[in-house]
Amino acid sequence: MVDIEIRDNMIRLGQFLKLANVVQGGGEAKIRIQSGEVRVNDQRETRRGRQLHDGDRVEIDGTVLMVRCAGSQ
């Protein structure tokens, strides 16, 4: 599991995937999310605009990413 730190209290799923460097850009994020390749908190997520918060767990290509807000522990 890899912790990915965000600046604010919330980030959208497409932006998070770009921040974590698991997609090249927004177009790739959109395609991969809409095709059902991404899971959030163990549920398939097809909405690119899904809001993520501290502690949310995102899985793509077998990689697990944990959302961490700056300053949280």
Q: Average pLDDT of 39-68? A: 97
| Domain ranges for the chain | 2-69
Q: Is the pLDDT of residue 73 over 80?
A: no
Q: Average pLDDT of 39-61? A: 97
Strand partners, 53: 10
Q: Are 40 and 66 in contact (CB under 8 A)?
A: no
- Tell me the per-residue pLDDT of 6-35, one tens digit each, with 9 for 90 and over: 999 999 999 999 999 999 999 999 999 999
Q: Is the pLDDT of residue 40 over 70?
A: yes
Query: What is residue 48's DSSP assignment?
Result: T
- The structure tokens listed for 28 are 């790739």
Give the right CATH number for 2-69 from 3.10.100.10, 3.40.50.1100, 3.40.50.10680, 3.10.290.10.
3.10.290.10
Q: How many residues appear in the chain?
A: 73
Three-class DSSP category at 49: coil
Q: Is the pTM here over 0.85, yes or no?
A: yes
